[in-house]
Structure 1
């Protein structure tokens, strides 16, 4: 079996040039030596230049790398009599009390809709706060999503409209010039291709002059029913290739919130997914014409601007694009070749197609193909605005069929498991859970996982600082580490390590949700209150200083990168600075706790006021100018993302909700129960044509009524089974 693992990480290493968003497809090395390419850059009309470094640059290391944990141990009485606020447990049932005593913490399902309200109620009830990394990670997600949406609505959508209009006009001119030549069909394909994009951006556009293939394509996109051959890409063929998964055009994430965002989503999905296959001569001619039209229409600046900005958020594409094709086109045909010469020079076209063999195949397959197809040959090609390479998608790609092969009883691993990602990043707990689930019983799974772990551990900082997406993933990596002597007692247990996986996977689900449009999705091959006496309410910060430190650095990098792109307004700069300062202060407190140093009164007040600070960021990101009052019930934190696709008919979904965590901590030698909010994590499959939106998930979890007006709180889905060791659905007696 051909193993693809060799490209992992090394293919990602070039993402350090992400801000210029040079496509990885032509320049990803498969070993540690750089690929040597002939100098084909023309002297005139050059391809767009890539900047040499990421907009993120080198993120600073803010945390103390030499810190030695020294948290003293303490004992909790079986009846909790030495816990100063044990009255919290007065009405708890036996199961909840037993788990809290045994593990030192407990996660409880709750009806709250956001992370901050529990912290606010703690303050007024004099209950110690337990400040979680989950709450801080969720707050970064809110601001990431807010900024990306703002950039798309205010900047990228107008550019996309200008770009598409220019490309359709230039493609029509090309088709007129090339009528009667061998390039006519390729030119007409491009007219249909940009006609589809035009209609997706403006459903009211006059379609009377659209080619029939475009009308057929739009019907498939609007039906979003499943997998079928593309009428546009297979123009002039019967049952040709590629096939497209039209369920991907179901708007999801925040793209359901307005018609403009929905149109942007569908158009960028079209530009990101449809491939002009390298193995097909006529589709390759279309790719040549698209690139010439891009340059000749004067639309290159708009294309580059859209690509650069989206690279900053989500990373570079590993499919070939204009930056790969234009130098090869100019080398073969000449930098100033006109269309008539292009169509008559068969030798030059042969030279060009031969030069495409130098292109490195994409690491991630995002197309439906059959198990007997050669993956690279079947997927290699040009995409106008390809979806983006991500490290986690590369991990998942290497852990599904065919790479892990078929089990001894004939099963094929056509969908990965979310636990694959933290396992690959070093979590032995995640790997143990996968083994216990029987999810690794495939001939090559263990060897693939071992190779991935080795490469991930060896990844340089440039890999993790290549985009906001990569840096967010890097922020989560400490949550995969085992904690030993000197750490809080509860953190040294297997049960806490499992709980940390929900923190990792909850935030990862938000990352996948926020970048659903841009990041590639893995495809396997088709096979078969007042009046309360004031009390000691000094709280605790979850002792994950590295996570808080990386979140602080990520917040600063987000601001700096957007400012360098000219996309940062004063209010956003101010809020990102506040987010940096909050996470920096939490890092400092967590380090003090680990050294067994008592935080200052000001730092305890920060812990006490944590809910109010979270509420500020929440309001900044969800309130609009026409809203005088908004509640979490209108904008719940619960969300869903689709992670991977089995083209035989199903998708892997992960989802989140908000839970309450109770942790027994000792502050100044006094044990107490501190309370905070955490992610609850869900994983399940859905039919391919029923990819869930956030609104669907709110109905499923009882947050919103169904079409008949009924709520489903009682029959809401259960969290992932492996979370049972540290969680209960309710704490009250009789529950």
Structure 2
């Protein structure tokens, strides 16, 4: 068996340090894909403070609006208010376009532009998976099955036979998931059929027939799987091919060949050797590398990492018989493998601390195409049981809160809300949170922009910075701080939705014109958000183009998105420095809805959408499960609903007016594990008024 030199090269490409220093270069190289270059924001905000009169007497266009007493009260108090629309707004562009046909000043929000990036990111992912990755995955499945079948034939009658048989079943499941009509090798027919039945039912946690090939393990030591994860969701329930791709990648991403189990370790080694074949490695890389650019590197041990100690102990060239016969080298390899780092995030069902005290030992192992490390999942992992222990009542924090993320990234308001909810009462929560905050604060820009997932989170960071003197008065209060948390969580939910297949999940144990009326609008002045979104759009285009994954039309759309973000950055800076806007800039605000509609149509054309009326079937609302409590049979669902209206009192030419825009509605709720929600189910809940209430902390700015 030869370990090709290409594997060593690939290991260098895949490795990387997830820590960084606080040097902040203007341009950062992102792996071998693209540069991240952020337009600088160098201004001193200088908007004079203002107050809204109790009778709205200093608002020039107050007659345009009919607000409830509750909404009016919040508008006077905070300078802005968010309200549900009289009729549900199913997309951002629909709200902005509706107002374009009335002489109402528009308020361009960060929510609306962040949503725009989500639309295009999700679209590009769908297209890449459908046209490039799924066909490549079919070829890889077949090639790996052929290779491990050869190993199985050669190893029959040895102590490695069962490990080779397990691998035959493992890749036969993958082939069958992508190609339902494919034949299954006879020796593993029963195990594969049982495994596929469990995947198809996707009902909950059970013992994996294939991974436990050979049997004999008690429940405590058996390889368990949460089959509810195999329900296609996100954009993956849109076509049969994407459903098949989802289930196959979930299979590859979740199944662990545990190093604590010698027979499973043998399986892991045989897979690493099978993948060392040059064409197999290239096929694997053509899937892994672009998805790493999109989401991140595997959180589990990879074949490359196993190939390194194999080559060191056995040499660059050896046959299977050497594996079988040389006990001394095998023991040396197992010792070396034990030194490999465990995953940062546990995405496996494991038992309580009393039954399995060494969780790292339980979860460490090879995953063929492991799900990816993400900083937010890592944060949540460290803020649930067993990490935070119990509170004074003996309760365990089995599911996290979305607010844990902005709190860990520095939001004092998010932490204060968590404190008021009793979420910080668990014994080790404050200490763990303090350590996480320190770690995140020390991360350098190279870390924050290492891939698109991290870059998206980096774009959201300015939203949790409280606004200093010189910002408009509506942005200088606690209610606005909470509105920005709402924006952060809305965009974060879209990120989790789009990457639900690749990112690891946390497990606790167990128009037209009108009258000639002054309708000049306003851009929410968050220039750093727009600068980062422009850089992210550019990095997205360059990175995908470098891999031959972007066509000219989509490249042009990303360039348009980058320009729009930069234009909004410029307008924001002018607003903050009291510099008059040009007629063209006011027209950009006025026609903002048309710009959003263009991007929306482009992002859905692969699904045959060519008219705005499709918002009924393709609303902005979405849902994603982000954490699992297998013992309690629950998942944590994060969702966005219909677009809410925001009314903000803004200064234009020294006078105050109300401008109208759109913001996210955000939901968080536990849900039965065996009924993980899809977007379609969530849309039905919204349409039938079955959605849970909005979080209580949003009462500060939402008038119900």
Tell me the TM-score normalized by structure 1.
Answer: 0.89
SS in 2 for 1:727: coil
Q: In structure 2, how many angstroms separate the alpha carbons of the residues matched to 1:86 and 1:162?
A: 64
SS in 2 for 1:439: coil
Indicate how the Cα distance of structure 1 residues 314 and 539 shifts in structure 2: closer, same or farther if over 3 A, else same.
Answer: same
1:509 to 479, 493, 502: 493
Indicate how the Cα distance of structure 1 residues 295 and 169 shifts in structure 2: closer, same or farther if over 3 A, else same.
Answer: same
Q: Indicate yes or no: 2:139 matched with 1:147.
A: no
Deviations 1:408-434 (A, max 9, x none): 110001111000000001111100000
Indicate how the Cα distance of structure 1 residues 67 and 626 shifts in structure 2: closer, same or farther if over 3 A, else same.
Answer: closer
The answer (yes or no) to whether the contact 2:384–2:399 under 8 Å persists in 1 is yes
Q: In structure 2, how many angstroms separate the alpha carbons of the residues matched to 1:449 and 1:620?
A: 41
What residue in structure 1 maps to residue 524 of structure 2? 542
SS in 2 for 1:410: coil
What residue in structure 2 maps to residue 216 of structure 1? 194
Deviates more, 1:501-510 or 1:480-489: 480-489
What residue in structure 2 maps to residue 722 of structure 1? 697
Deviations 1:135-156 (A, max 9, x none): 0000000000011111100000
Indicate how the Cα distance of structure 1 residues 505 and 118 shifts in structure 2: closer, same or farther if over 3 A, else same.
Answer: same
In the TM superposition, 1:537-686 aligns within 5 A as 537-624=519-606, 626-630=608-612, 631-648=614-631, 649-657=633-641, 658-686=643-671
Indicate how the Cα distance of structure 1 residues 158 and 531 shifts in structure 2: closer, same or farther if over 3 A, else same.
Answer: closer
What residue in structure 1 maps to residue 14 of structure 2? 22
Q: In structure 2, how many angstroms separate the alpha carbons of the residues matched to 1:654 and 1:18?
A: 36
In the TM superposition, 1:279-678 aligns within 5 A as 279-296=260-277, 298-372=279-353, 373=356, 374-526=358-510, 532-624=514-606, 626-630=608-612, 631-648=614-631, 649-657=633-641, 658-678=643-663
SS in 1 for 2:520: coil
SS in 1 for 2:549: coil
SS in 2 for 1:441: coil
Q: In structure 1, how many angstroms separate the alpha carbons of the residues matched to 2:10 and 2:114?
A: 23
In the TM superposition, 1:17-96 aligns within 5 A as 22=14, 54-55=31-32, 58-64=35-41, 66-89=42-65, 91-96=66-71
Q: In structure 1, how many angstroms separate the alpha carbons of the residues matched to 2:662 and 2:477?
A: 20
Q: In structure 2, how many angstroms separate the alpha carbons of the residues matched to 1:694 and 1:440?
A: 31
What residue in structure 2 maps to residue 693 of structure 1? 678
What residue in structure 2 maps to residue 103 of structure 1? 78
Q: Indicate yes or no: 2:163 matched with 1:178.
A: no
Q: In structure 1, how many angstroms separate the alpha carbons of the residues matched to 2:279 and 2:673?
A: 39
Q: CA deviation at 1:243?
A: 1.0
Q: In structure 2, how many angstroms separate the alpha carbons of the residues matched to 1:18 and 1:98?
A: 61
Indicate how the Cα distance of structure 1 residues 211 and 335 shifts in structure 2: closer, same or farther if over 3 A, else same.
Answer: farther
Indicate how the Cα distance of structure 1 residues 401 and 433 shifts in structure 2: closer, same or farther if over 3 A, else same.
Answer: same
Deviations 1:662-706 (A, max 9, x none): 10111011211100111011000001111100001101100xxxx
1:233 to 176, 186, 211: 211
The answer (yes or no) to whether the contact 1:20–1:308 under 8 Å persists in 2 is no
Q: In structure 1, how many angstroms separate the alpha carbons of the residues matched to 2:415 and 2:677?
A: 28
SS in 2 for 1:211: helix
What residue in structure 1 maps to residue 25 of structure 2? none
Q: CA deviation at 1:318?
A: 1.8
> Alignment length, in residue pairs?
677
Q: CA deviation at 1:235?
A: 1.2
Q: CA deviation at 1:69?
A: 0.9
What residue in structure 2 maps to residue 117 of structure 1? 94
Q: In structure 2, how many angstroms separate the alpha carbons of the residues matched to 1:634 and 1:23?
A: 42
Q: In structure 1, how many angstroms separate the alpha carbons of the residues matched to 2:476 and 2:172?
A: 59
Q: CA deviation at 1:77?
A: 2.1
The answer (yes or no) to whether the contact 2:621–2:639 under 8 Å persists in 1 is yes
SS in 2 for 1:672: strand
The answer (yes or no) to whether the contact 1:18–1:311 under 8 Å persists in 2 is no
Deviations 1:7-47 (A, max 9, x none): xxxxxxxxxx99976156xx778x99xxxxxxxxxxxxxxx
Q: In structure 2, how many angstroms separate the alpha carbons of the residues matched to 1:500 and 1:687?
A: 30
Deviates more, 1:622-631 or 1:465-474: 622-631
The answer (yes or no) to whether the contact 1:18–1:53 under 8 Å persists in 2 is no
Q: In structure 2, how many angstroms separate the alpha carbons of the residues matched to 1:485 and 1:313?
A: 37
Q: CA deviation at 1:278?
A: 0.7
The answer (yes or no) to whether the contact 2:127–2:606 under 8 Å persists in 1 is no
Q: In structure 2, how many angstroms separate the alpha carbons of the residues matched to 1:602 and 1:433?
A: 42
Tell me the TM-score normalized by structure 2.
Answer: 0.93
Deviations 1:488-524 (A, max 9, x none): 1121111110110110000000000000000000111
Long gaps (5+) in structure 2: 1-8, 22-28
Q: RMSD over aligned Cα, in angstroms?
A: 1.9
What residue in structure 2 maps to residue 200 of structure 1? 177
The answer (yes or no) to whether the contact 1:54–1:465 under 8 Å persists in 2 is no
SS in 2 for 1:675: strand
Deviations 1:153-207 (A, max 9, x none): 0000111000000111111111010000000000000000001101111122224
1:168 to 145, 165, 180: 145
Q: In structure 2, how many angstroms separate the alpha carbons of the residues matched to 1:211 and 1:332?
A: 35
SS in 1 for 2:625: strand
Q: In structure 1, how many angstroms separate the alpha carbons of the residues matched to 2:113 and 2:416?
A: 28
Q: In structure 1, how many angstroms separate the alpha carbons of the residues matched to 2:634 and 2:152?
A: 40
Q: In structure 2, how many angstroms separate the alpha carbons of the residues matched to 1:446 and 1:696?
A: 37
Q: CA deviation at 1:125?
A: 0.6
Q: In structure 2, how many angstroms separate the alpha carbons of the residues matched to 1:493 and 1:21?
A: 46
Q: CA deviation at 1:208?
A: 6.5
Q: In structure 2, how many angstroms separate the alpha carbons of the residues matched to 1:18 and 1:169?
A: 23
Q: In structure 2, how many angstroms separate the alpha carbons of the residues matched to 1:185 and 1:279?
A: 16
Indicate how the Cα distance of structure 1 residues 304 and 674 shifts in structure 2: closer, same or farther if over 3 A, else same.
Answer: same
Q: In structure 1, how many angstroms separate the alpha carbons of the residues matched to 2:56 and 2:30?
A: 56
Deviates more, 1:265-274 or 1:652-661: 652-661
Q: CA deviation at 1:297?
A: 7.2
Long gaps (5+) in structure 1: 1-16, 33-51, 703-711, 730-735
Q: In structure 1, how many angstroms separate the alpha carbons of the residues matched to 2:682 and 2:251?
A: 25
